[in-house]
A and B are shown apart, each in its own frame.
Chain A
Amino acid sequence: MNSAAEVSAPPRDARSFRRRLIGLIAVGEVGVLAAMALLIAFFWLLEPAFLSERNIRAILNVVSFVGIIAIGQTILLVAGEFDLSVGSVAGLSAVVAAKLMTAAALPVSFGILGGIGVGALIGLLNGLIVVRLGIPAFIQTLGMLFIGQGLIQVVTGGYPVYPLPEAINTIGGTDLAFGLGWSFAFFIVAALFADFVLRRTVLGRNMYATGGNKEVAHLVGVNTSAYKIGAFITVGALSAIAGMFVMADLGSGGTSIGSGWELTVIAGVVVGGVSLFGGAGTVAGGVVGILMLKVVQSGLVVIGVNSNWQQIAVGVIMVMAVGLDIVRRRYFIAGA
């Protein structure tokens, strides 16, 4: 175009700028990985038993349960919403599945589908209410957290559902490799798949656009309501699956499954660089964040720190991570 335009932008700052940005983006995943490596080294130096096979297996086993939910929560956060009811949904789905298999005497597969159906249905309900009625996700899903807890008691009458069909105990007890079972396999496959979807597909890109600026996404033809509701359904279904894996692991439909997970999951994915403000973060980051949180919790146990201090450590780490997120955001949107 005309040469007057050549002076319209300074190309000089472009390079140093780009370096800085790449550095900041990298904080999301590489930064957390580096921090985790340091923590692992720290705990290992203090107590070599931290890296024992048993402890590693225990950490990975726990991560597989919450990690499945973290995948869904990451997708939902990217779409610009979040869900506080994931723990309740996990518990409710587990006991519903257990009841279907035992009290209703349905085949195991029906029970599992029923459990997933409950999770997806609650996700749909959350999504519809948030998107169509405009009730903030915080209120809607906090309400659903209580509703879910209540329903767990209604369904079970307060007693764990036990015994479960043999097939369930088999699912929970299978050792695929290194003492890790189906839940871990599902977690890995789902994480890889979800990461790919967000990173490489049109659907993923539209999800980022929806979470970044709903109005812009709408104007470029993205059906933002469908994306948000879809993300709510996904997180609901994944919560249900996680809940049922715990049930299989325990061999009983316990009434406390999922209790308190919602905050662990959100804390974890936020530590992993998923933005609470929507439109930023990756599944890989979210999963690494959860892993790091569990490493810290386990490490503090192993080195014999008082359990009260463990809580404090988790809190401090989460606030620091969100602080990091805000700083990163400020660099991205500085001047806006």
Chain B
Amino acid sequence: MSITTQAPLFSATAVAKNFGGVQALRGVDFDVVAGEIHALLGQNGAGKSTLVKILNGVHPAGSYTGTIQLDGRPISFASPADARSNGVGYVPQEIEVLEQLSVAENVFAGRTGLGTGMMVHQRKLEQRAGEIFADLGIDINPRAYVASLTSAQRHLVMIARAIVMKPRVLMLDEPTASLSGTEVDALFAVLRRLKAQGVAMIYITHRLPEVLAICDRATVLRDGQVAVRIARENFDAETFIFSMSGQRLQRLFPGHAAPVGAPTALEVRHLTVAGHSGAVHGARDINLCVAAGEIVGLAGLLGSGRSEILHGIYGRVAAEGEVRVAGQTVSIKSPRDARAAGIALLTEDRKRDGLLFNLPVGANITIGNLAPLSRHGMVRGALERSSILTAMRALNVKASSPQASVTHLSGGNQQKLLFARVLMRAPNVLLLDEPTKGVDAATRHEIYRLVVELAEKGVGLLIVASELEELIGLCDRCLVVADGRIVDEFGRGEGGEDRVLRSVTAAQAERHAIASPASA
């Protein structure tokens, strides 16, 4: 392919870095040519983020060894701003927006003067932001306040912010982590356009289908070294998994059969959740059943009301309707009631509503679960410690000790920690919202196995996941959610991703058909 013979636009040679004696990168060669989308793969801890931080100036020149070249000339960045002004843009994985400012102001954050001076030209900003959004094919009002946007929309704002700088090299760190299918398609359309303009892109992801879909080359890092570099014509999911993990994962999804004649673990009748902050539809008249030992998936696009159903059942948001646990009607007004009824929820956003950063690993696991670990309201230290260690071992949580901070755990370990928290009370019903979001491939596999293990123990599971392949592979039964309603249902082997997308499309078309005569 011509790409491999072209001179690299941006390259790193023999880059090495260590953190206090720990070798994070051991001499990595990496390059990207103009008009190429180059995937950077690897498990958490493989060195991807360290490499990216060197390439965009977070780790400044002098803190690493090796050379970076732009256009064939050696270059060094003192800071991310320095990298930006040299045409190297970066879209971080974490959403970093200014909630109190408008979308346009966020897109031009730090450059609201538009280079003309001290004044902020509000109208011009809005107009320019509008043009960028039109170009991206994304429907966000530049005047809206970012506080009212969904997390997917916030991510798109951040991508727009990087594109505004007209970068020659653009690094995208898991850009699709919070996007739904159609939004991913919109993003890919943008990336293809940038590619046609000759922008070199470094695409960091855990999602192999995306690599297969859009990338031209892929570099896999493992233990701070390049494990393999593959050109598009040799792309193969199995090869990626093999080179990331160093071993071949036998099956992506562990087998599980829906239990026959099992009692009902969770039954929901006429559940209605009000929508909030405009962007989210809520959920209307949801009826569903989860048997003990059954894994049920809620498939649908982001914002379809999937998460709202889980939140409504758990009492996190106000909901009307009836919830029965093991045949008993329970009144759930708050998460406290849900927990008392044996329901547990694993939330989607670990940083916002999962981890307590002020408490160490151990206390993060036992928070909310202290009643059996205490006497007369006093925590029994030895008992708490031993149950923390048991939970950490059972879920393979890798932390130096229960006293360690949760901040620097990898995404996968943070997620396993949160699993340990929700499982400590041995719930009968487990609600999982994006259980594998932002975790590496190996942890993902561990989580699949854990889900199946729990089902085999008789726990009823209700799972929301954006990756349809994952949801369909894992679940015994899938319910398709669109516009806050359940529009289709199918069992294992009765349908694939195409069926979900068809059901969603059909439901949306039907809604338009109903709406149109009324408006006419």
Contacts and interface: CB of A to CB of B under 8 A. Distances in A.
A3 interface: yes
B449 A220 contact: no
B359 A209 contact: yes
Q: Helix, strand, loop or mixed for chain B's interface?
A: loop
Contact of B358 (A4, A15, A208, A221): A208
A332 B357 contact: yes
Q: Which of B94, B339, B357, B358 has the largest count of A CB atoms less than 10 A from its CB?
A: B358
Interface string B353-391: 111111100010011111100100111010000000000
Interface in A193-224: 200-203, 205-206, 208-209, 211-213, 215-223
B249 interface: yes
A12 B22 contact: yes
A57 B91 CA distance: 60
Interface in B238-253: 245-247, 249
Contacts of B65: none
B421 A13 contact: no
A177 interface: no
Q: Which of B94, B357, B421 has the largest count of A CB atoms less than 10 A from its CB?
A: B357
Place the interface of chain B in its size category.
35 or more
A8 B355 contact: no
Interface in A1-24: 1-5, 7-18, 21-22
A333 interface: yes
A208 B442 contact: no
Interface string A318-336: 0000000000000011111
B443 A213 contact: no
A280 interface: yes
Q: Which of A2, A202, A213, A335 has the largest count of B CB atoms less than 10 A from its CB?
A: A202
A211 B407 CA distance: 17
Contacts, number: 167
Contacts of A218: 316, 334-335
A211 B367 CA distance: 13
Given A1-B446, A14-B399, A335-B407, A202 B354 contact: no
Q: Which of B334, B339, B407 has the largest count of A CB atoms less than 10 A from its CB?
A: B407
Given A8-B44, A219-B316, A221-B335, A201 B374 contact: yes
A213 B356 CA distance: 6
Interface string B389-404: 0000000101111011
A123 interface: no
A258 interface: no
Nearest to A204: B379
B398 A221 contact: no
23 contacts: A4-B246, A4-B442, A7-B223, A7-B246, A8-B45, A8-B413, A11-B398, A16-B22, A17-B408, A18-B403, A202-B374, A206-B370, A212-B356, A215-B352, A216-B354, A218-B335, A219-B347, A221-B335, A221-B339, A275-B358, A279-B358, A336-B94, A336-B351
Interface of B: 19-22, 43-45, 94, 222-223, 245-247, 249, 314, 316, 334-336, 339-340, 345, 347, 351-359, 363, 366-371, 374, 377-379, 381, 396, 398-401, 403-405, 407-410, 412-413, 421, 440-443, 445-446, 449
* 9 closest cross-chain pairs (CB), A and B: A220-B368, A14-B400, A279-B358, A212-B358, A9-B398, A4-B442, A221-B336, A212-B356, A4-B245
Given A5-B442, A9-B410, A202-B378, 17 more contacts: A4-B442, A7-B222, A8-B412, A10-B22, A14-B404, A16-B21, A200-B381, A201-B377, A205-B379, A212-B359, A216-B353, A216-B354, A220-B367, A221-B334, A279-B358, A279-B359, A332-B358
